[in-house]
């Protein structure tokens, strides 16, 4: 029988992770599943797995992405600016804040929801230490202390190690949800993920 954990691989610079975040968190709660959060450095993941940063993709792919963002923000009922003021951003400090908050036992999904909305809906700088401090404080955490931890050498080393481990597991994009060893890449696979959860089936494997 599949265990009661779902691994969640993401970066805070991903609008796709933002679009699916609340739906995923609500789904996990509804089914009594524990989420294990894994922020990863897409700048490390993409080169190892054949992906390209947005600016290096063909113009046709970039244009289609903007259409898809419009479709999915309508489908998910999420406020999202197509070209936020501070996107793309360096997500390192933000991603490490998620990890630091998780290690401290804080409200990780609540912080992520606030930060995603700040970046993609309200056009705030999600890479800014002051912004991150304020959002952490809103969750009841010690924002200054956690931002300091997130910017430390051990935190950065752990982030790099987690990203390498993600690649080794076959992770190649954000968001990716892993249930019983089966990868579901993209928030547009959430319905398929819930089907798998509801059925209770074992995770599919590569033949």
What's the pTM? 0.96
Residue 207 falls inside a structural domain: no
Kindly report the CATH number assigned to the domain that includes residue 134. 3.40.30.10
Residue 107 falls inside a structural domain: yes
Residue 205 falls inside a structural domain: no
What's CA 17's distance to the chain center, in Å?
5
- 179: containing domain: 5-199
Predicted confidence (pLDDT) per residue in 120-166, tens digit? 999 999 999 999 999 999 999 999 999 999 999 999 999 999 999 99
Predicted confidence (pLDDT) per residue in 78-106, tens digit? 999 999 999 999 999 999 999 999 999 99
**pLDDT (0 to 100) of residue 1:** 64
- Cα 83 to Cα 87: distance, rounded to the nearest angstrom: 7
Name the pLDDT band for 114 (thresholds 50, 70, 90).
very high
54 by Cβ neighbours in 10 Å (0-12 / 13-18 / 19+) ranks as: exposed
Domain count, the chain: 1
Predicted confidence (pLDDT) per residue in 160-187, tens digit? 999 999 999 999 999 999 999 999 999 9
Could you give the 3-state DSSP secondary structure of residue 63? Answer: helix
Name the pLDDT band for 3 (thresholds 50, 70, 90).
confident
Q: Is the pLDDT of residue 2 over 80?
A: no
**CA of 148: how far to CAs of 93, 96, 97, 155, 157, in Å?**
10, 10, 9, 10, 14
Half-sphere exposure of 2 (CA within 13 A, CB side): 23
Mean pLDDT, residues 48-56 taken together = 95
The percentage of residues in the chain with a pLDDT greater than 90, rounded to a whole number, is 98
Residue 11 falls inside a structural domain: yes
- Cα 188 to Cα 207: distance, rounded to the nearest angstrom: 24
Residue 136 falls inside a structural domain: yes
């Amino acid at each position: 029988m599949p265990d009661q954990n779902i691994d969640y691989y993401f970066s805070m610079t991903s609008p796709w992770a933002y679009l699916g975040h609340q739906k995923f968190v609500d789904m996990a709660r509804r089914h009594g599943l524990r989420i294990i959060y894994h922020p990863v450095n897409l700048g490390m993941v993409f080169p190892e797995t054949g992906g390209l940063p947005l600016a290096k993709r063909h113009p046709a792919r970039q244009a289609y992405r903007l259409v898809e963002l419009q479709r999915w923000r309508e489908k998910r009922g999420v406020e999202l600016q197509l070209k936020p003021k501070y996107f793309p951003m360096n997500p390192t400090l933000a991603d490490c804040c998620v990890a630091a908050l998780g290690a401290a036992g804080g409200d990780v999904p609540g912080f992520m929801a606030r930060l995603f909305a700040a970046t993609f809906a309200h056009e705030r700088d999600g890479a800014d230490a002051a912004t991150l401090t304020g959002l952490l404080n809103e969750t009841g955490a010690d924002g200054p202390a956690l931002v300091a931890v997130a910017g430390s050498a051990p935190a950065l080393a752990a982030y790099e190690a987690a990203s390498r481990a993600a690649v080794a597991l076959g992770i190649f994009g954000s968001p990716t949800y892993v249930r019983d060893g089966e990868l579901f890449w993209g928030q547009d696979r959430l319905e398929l993920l819930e089907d798998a959860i509801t059925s209770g089936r074992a995770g599919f494997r590569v033949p």
